[in-house]
Amino acid sequence: MPVATENLSQILYRDMLLIRRTEEKILELFSAGKVGGTTHTCIGQEANAVALVGQLDRQRDFVVSNHRCHGHYLAYGGPLDGLLGEILGTANGVCGGRGGSQHIKYDRFQSNGVLGGGIPIACGMAMGEKLKGGDGITVVSIGDGALGEGTLYESLNMAALWDLPILFLVENNRYAQSTPLHLGVAGSIVDRARPFGIRADEIDTTDVEELLVWSSRAIEAVRLERKPHWAVMHTYRFSAHSKGDDTRDEDEVRAYQEKDPLRIQSARLNAEQLDEAEAWVRDVLGRALAACDAAGEAMKL
């Protein structure tokens, strides 16, 4: 647990580190054959999750995530053992092992593996909140690849027509599976929402502290003005799309790794703080895995 003396930089680092180590562990478990199916890790993109989703208020805000959802889930505050259990197919999985890596629901957070499918649902959730007069917002996360799905534009139109309090979090990691941006996305990403009359903004950084300030403005805009917002984060993933299916140029990946959000953030911490974070994460992760072991295979239909 965070200790009282921890400062914001430490907390951000620790939260990103937890995501990083969890994703690494998941890939390791996959390689060891301990998990079936598929999974999509967000290594390299942790700062987005922590900066934006991490700032939401779990008591009132909603998140609709996609296939690459682990980081969003953890930043939202979803229990780690529930996530690992879900992926391992143990009985403590947050959805009892039914959903698996891509289909998770916890409190006001949910994800689904069909690209584009969650976007209009997020609009409905935002509209529900609006009708109730609540001040919660809904965040729906999509990648650059999901810009190909028509439901996105149908939803932008609805969100604008009805002033829905929804934040479109667009994580442009420059690839959709194996497809580089220029083969899948014509023109501009940030402009895609503008013709609908939706405010749009973009940021190209992996510095979690910069992202935090930028995200906080985006969140507050939606929360206070009760209008949609299109927030594009240019980013990069270091891990493969799912498991080992990486065809990107190694030099390119290496170049982006220079901007590893953890590296950037670690520069703000001293050695002791870094060790402390590692130790904390190791402990939390260890306990979560133990909980999965103890729970045993999910067998209850």
Partner 1 sequence: MRVLEQLNQSLHAVMAERSDVLFIGEDVLDPYGGAFKVSKGLSTAFPDQVITTPISEASIVGLGTGLALQGYRPVVEIMFGDFITLIADQLVNQAAKMTWMYNRDLAVPIVVRTPMGGRRGYGPTHSQTLEKHFLGVPGLTVLAASQALDAGALLRIAIEEIDTPVLFVENKLLYARQAIEPGELDMRKSDAQVPTLTIGGGRPDFSIITYGDNLSLVLEAVAYLHEEEELNGEILMVHQVSPIDFEPLRVSVMTTRRVVVVEEGIEAHGWGAEVIAGLSDISLEAPPERVGARSLPIPAARGLEEQVLPQKQDVIDAVIRTVDRYHV
Which residues contact ligand TPP by CB under 6 A?
40, 67-68, 113-116, 143-146, 173, 175-177, 241
Identify which of residues 179 and 205 has a Cβ nearer to ligand TPP in the complex. 179
**Nearest-approach distance from CB 235 to ligand TPP, in angstroms:** 9
Q: Are 231 and 215 in contact (CB under 8 A)?
A: yes
Identify which of residues 37 and 296 has a Cβ nearer to ligand TPP in the complex. 37
Listed ranges 48-56, 83-91, 178-186, 255-263: which one lies at the site for its own copies (CB under 8 A): 178-186
Q: Is there binding between residue 32 and partner 1 (CB under 8 A)?
A: no
Q: Is there binding between residue 45 and partner 1 (CB under 8 A)?
A: no
| CA–CA gap between residue 2 and residue 29 (Å, rounded) | 27
Q: Is there binding between residue 115 and partner 1 (CB under 8 A)?
A: yes
Q: What is the DSSP secondary-structure string of the chain?
A: ---TT--HHHHHHHHHHHHHHHHHHHHHHHHTT---S-----TT-HHHHHHTGGGS-TTT-EEEE-SS-HHHHHHHT--HHHHHHHHHTBTTSTTTTSS-TT--EETTEEE-SSTTTHHHHHHHHHHHHHHHT----EEEEEESGGGG-HHHHHHHHHHHHTT--EEEEEEE-SEETTEEHHHH--S-SGGGGGGGT-EEEEEE---HHHHHHHHHHHHHHHHHH---EEEEEE----S-SSSS---S-HHHHHHHHTT-HHHHHHTTS-HHHHHHHHHHHHHHHHHHHHHHHHH-B----
The binding site for Mg ion (CB under 5 A) comprises 143-145, 173, 176
Neighbouring residues of 283: CB distance < 8 A, sequence distance ≥ 6 = none
Binding residue for its own copies, selected from 8, 114, 183, 294, defined by CB under 8 A: 183
Q: Tokens standing for 27?
A: 């890939």
Identify which of residues 39 and 266 has a Cβ nearer to Mg ion in the complex. 39
Identify which of residues 114 and 290 has a Cβ nearer to partner 1 in the complex. 114
Q: Is there binding between residue 183 and partner 1 (CB under 8 A)?
A: yes
Identify which of residues 2 and 148 has a Cβ nearer to ligand TPP in the complex. 148
| Contact characters 68-97, partner 1, x per CB under 8 A | ------------------x--xx--x-xxx
Identify which of residues 97 and 143 has a Cβ nearer to Mg ion in the complex. 143
Q: Tokens standing for 212?
A: 């935090």
**Nearest-approach distance from CB 176 to its own copies, in angstroms:** 12
Sequence letter at residue 180: P
- The one of partner 1, ligand TPP, Mg ion, none whose footprint includes residue 97, by CB under 5 to 8 A per kind, is partner 1
Q: Is there binding between residue 123 and partner 1 (CB under 8 A)?
A: yes
Identify which of residues 84 and 167 has a Cβ nearer to its own copies in the complex. 167
Which positions touch partner 1 (CB under 8 A)? 35-38, 86, 89-90, 93, 95-105, 110, 112-129, 131-132, 145-151, 154-155, 157-158, 161-162, 176-179, 183-185, 245, 247, 297-299, 301
